[in-house]
Amino acid sequence: NAGVTQTPKFQVLKTGQSMTLQCAQDMNHEYMSWYRQDPGMGLRLIHYSVGAGITDQGEVPNGYNVSRSTTEDFPLRLLSAAPSQTSVYFCASSYSGQGPTYEQYFGPGTRLTVT
């Protein structure tokens, strides 16, 4: 059971380049989310999904796209990288549904630098 995996671990992009951060989980979790972690700001939700084919915006969605074609995968696309997107990105997954909030399981993170 690998849990939540993310690739790559590190990435350097030039302004204007695009790329996809990969996230996969093998726990059959319905809920998946992407956060960015910045010093002094904690983790902020970018996008989330409550199941395959269903996605929605979080707190800071601009500049990012997501799709959820399978339960396991939830890639995050940067359309045109900007220096403000330099951050550490975390993917997380959990069970879903109305009612108690379930524990979220986090991936190891991707450290992205945009120059």
Partner 1 sequence: AQRVTQPEKLLSVFKGAPVELKCNYSYSGSPELFWYVQYSRQRLQLLLRHISRESIKGFTADLNKGETSFHLKKPFAQEEDSAMYYCALGDSWGKLQFGAGTQVVVTP
The nearer residue to partner 1, 4 or 114, going by C-beta atoms, is 4
Q: Please report whether residue 52 would count as binding partner 1 according to CB under 8 A.
A: no
Residue 12 or 56 having the CB closest to partner 1: 56
Return the range that interacts with partner 1 (CB under 8 A); candidates 18-26, 38-46, 62-70, 72-80.
38-46
Rule CB under 8 A: choose which of 1, 14, 28, 100 binds partner 1: 100
Question: 3-state SS of the chain?
Answer: CCCEEEECCEEEECCCCCEEEEEEECCCCCEEEEEEEECCCEEEEEEEEEECCEEEECCCCCCEEECCCCCCECCEEECCCCHHHCEEEEEEEECCCCCCCCCCEECCCEEEEEC
Q: Is 42 in the site for partner 1 (CB under 8 A)?
A: yes
Report if residue 94 touches partner 1, rule: CB under 8 A.
yes
Count of alpha carbons within 13 angstroms of residue 69, beta-carbon side: 2
Binding site for partner 1 (CB under 8 A): 4, 31, 33, 35, 40-45, 48, 50, 58-59, 90, 92, 94-104, 106-109
